[in-house]
Amino acid sequence: MIESVSSPVPRVAAILLAGGTGKRAGFEQPKQLEWLGGKPVLCWSLEAFDAHPAVSGGVLVGNGDVKAAVAPLPDGWISADPGAERQDSVANALAALADWEDDAIVLVHDAARPGVGPVVIDRLLAALSHADAAIPTLPVPDTLVEQADSAAGDVMGRERLARVQTPQAFRLGALRRAHAAAAGASATDDAQLVRQSGTAVATVAGDARLHKLTYAEDMAILSGLLGTGAMMRTAVGMGYDVHRLVEGKPLWIGGIEIAHSHGLEGHSDADVGLHALTDAILGALGDGDIGDHFPPTDPQWRGAASHRFLSFAGDRIAANGGRIAHLDLTIIAEAPKIGPHRVAIRERIAEILAIPVGRVSVKATTTERLGFTGRREGISAQAVATIQLPEN
């Protein structure tokens, strides 16, 4: 009797492409960061791959705002920077998988298709048991015509046409060879490169829920397909804080320490900027104020770093299924000059709340030497928080 020896199961990695700008959608930020059903568009795909039992890790390709939006990444995931073109972004992800074996399987997916689910992933993995590449496709239901100068031309046959979706599955070695052979040639997806290298590409049934977010109106289509349902409402909150300047204390404003002869007096580190922002967020939530959650009579908050308060407020938004749309902070001080520190403050606030820095505005002004701030007796701050919350 000959004992059969089973082949080892290949590892499976996902490459999630989230580096595009998505200008056709017309949003103020890249479309993969737009909110869909209580979370950024790219999170739908990231969570789907992370939940699939066959996928052991992946590479998120995106810029700093993209990485901040999903930090920390799930176990087994790493990140890579985007390239000038989609093909370059995939090449960067392949470089990040340099220690993976050629026989491994890689699923290349566009983050603008948030409807990826286990059924299509299973179909692709099954196809790679007898092929080196496979893609999901859907039939073309519409009549197709040639068009020129806004006039309909001849009808084109659709019987042999199909709509190509992602994720696309490849043996890692086949995809590496295809990219190496491309030598700068451009392609709209990886299946084209693999076919050009002489490798056959199998097809599996796609899924209508893999609709691609291209234009703003696609958000409504995706909401229906994915059953997100919930409409979002906008809420705005205001915050204000003031602290006295005293000698012998460090000066914390906006989450950073600024060199100065005086610091701010308070029960915590007295960061007026973060206190005002915290109150603005809590106000937008209708969730009391900073004193309700962190009373100055409680000794555990003596000397506490104020980033803990702001982080708490951000967590309260997430717990309510919401998101931060924009924060606007104004520091009112005669001295020190805040202007040289504005960029660092913006970046620190964005880091604390894990949001893109583009959603944070920091301004500074004086009172023209009038009042307590003009006399350099203290520093104050005003903040406005705009958030989006699911309708009840």
Q: What is the pLDDT of residue 153?
A: 77
In this predicted structure, the answer to whether residue 310 has a pLDDT above a threshold of 50 is yes
285 and 335 belong to one structural domain: yes
237 and 215 belong to one structural domain: no
Across 197-201, average pLDDT: 92
Asked if residue 125 belongs to a domain, the reply is yes
219 and 248 belong to one structural domain: no
Predicted confidence (pLDDT) per residue in 335-354, tens digit: 999 999 999 999 999 999 88
pLDDT band at 147 (very low <50, low <70, confident <90, very high): confident
Strand partners, 326: 386
Asked if residue 6 belongs to a domain, the reply is no
In this predicted structure, the answer to whether residue 75 has a pLDDT above a threshold of 80 is yes
Domain ends where: 226, 241, 266? Answer: 226
Q: Cα separation of 31 and 19, whole Å?
A: 10
Asked if residue 4 belongs to a domain, the reply is no
Q: What is the pLDDT of residue 5?
A: 39
Asked if residue 5 belongs to a domain, the reply is no
Q: What is the pLDDT of residue 39?
A: 85
169 and 25 belong to one structural domain: yes
pLDDT band at 260 (very low <50, low <70, confident <90, very high): very high
Across 92-97, average pLDDT: 96
221 and 256 belong to one structural domain: no
In this predicted structure, the answer to whether residue 230 has a pLDDT above a threshold of 90 is no
Q: What is the pLDDT of residue 315?
A: 87
Q: What is the pLDDT of residue 155?
A: 81
Q: Which candidate, 49, 305, 94, places its Cα nearest to that of 193? A: 94
In this predicted structure, the answer to whether residue 231 has a pLDDT above a threshold of 70 is no
Predicted confidence (pLDDT) per residue in 311-321, tens digit: 999 888 888 87
Q: What is the pLDDT of residue 389?
A: 84
Instruction: Answer for the pair 202, 134: CB distance below 8 angstroms, yes or no.
Output: yes
Scan for tokens 């919930």, then name that residue.
230
Identify the DSSP state of 83: -
Q: What's this model's pTM, rounded to 2 decimal places?
A: 0.62
Asked if residue 303 belongs to a domain, the reply is yes
Domain ends where: 170, 194, 226? Answer: 226
Q: Could you write out the DSSP letters of every residue in 134-189?
A: EEEEEE--S-EEEEETTEEEEEEP-TT-EEE-S-EEEEHHHHHHHHHHHTT---SS
CA atoms within 13 A on the CB side of 100: 26
pLDDT band at 1 (very low <50, low <70, confident <90, very high): very low
22 and 154 belong to one structural domain: yes
Across 140-157, average pLDDT: 81
Instruction: Provide CB contacts within 8 A for 283, sequence distance 6+.
Output: 237, 238, 239, 289, 385
Domain ends where: 226, 254, 286? Answer: 226
Instruction: Provide CB contacts within 8 A for 232, sequence distance 6+.
Output: 35, 322, 388, 389, 390, 391
pLDDT band at 355 (very low <50, low <70, confident <90, very high): confident
CATH number of the domain enclosing 362: 3.30.1330.50
238 and 200 belong to one structural domain: no
Scan for tokens 């409807």, then name that residue.
115
Asked if residue 7 belongs to a domain, the reply is no
59 and 145 belong to one structural domain: yes
Across 193-207, average pLDDT: 92
In this predicted structure, the answer to whether residue 392 has a pLDDT above a threshold of 70 is no
Asked if residue 302 belongs to a domain, the reply is yes
215 and 105 belong to one structural domain: yes
In this predicted structure, the answer to whether residue 6 has a pLDDT above a threshold of 60 is no
In this predicted structure, the answer to whether residue 229 has a pLDDT above a threshold of 80 is no
In this predicted structure, the answer to whether residue 390 has a pLDDT above a threshold of 90 is no
CATH number of the domain enclosing 36: 3.90.550.10
Burial per residue of 290-317, b for 16 or more beta-carbon CB atoms within 10 angstroms, e otherwise? beeebeeeeeebeebebbebbbebbebb
156 and 274 belong to one structural domain: no
Asked if residue 1 belongs to a domain, the reply is no
Across 87-95, average pLDDT: 94
Q: Cα separation of 365 and 332, whole Å?
A: 5
Q: Across the chain, what does the average pLDDT equal?
A: 89
pLDDT band at 133 (very low <50, low <70, confident <90, very high): very high
In this predicted structure, the answer to whether residue 195 has a pLDDT above a threshold of 70 is yes
Lowest mean pLDDT among 69-78, 127-136, 186-195, 371-380: 186-195
Element (H, E) at 241: strand 232-247
125 and 29 belong to one structural domain: yes
In this predicted structure, the answer to whether residue 363 has a pLDDT above a threshold of 90 is yes
Domain count for the chain, please give it.
2
159 and 253 belong to one structural domain: no
Identify the domain containing residue 245 by its residue range. 232-390
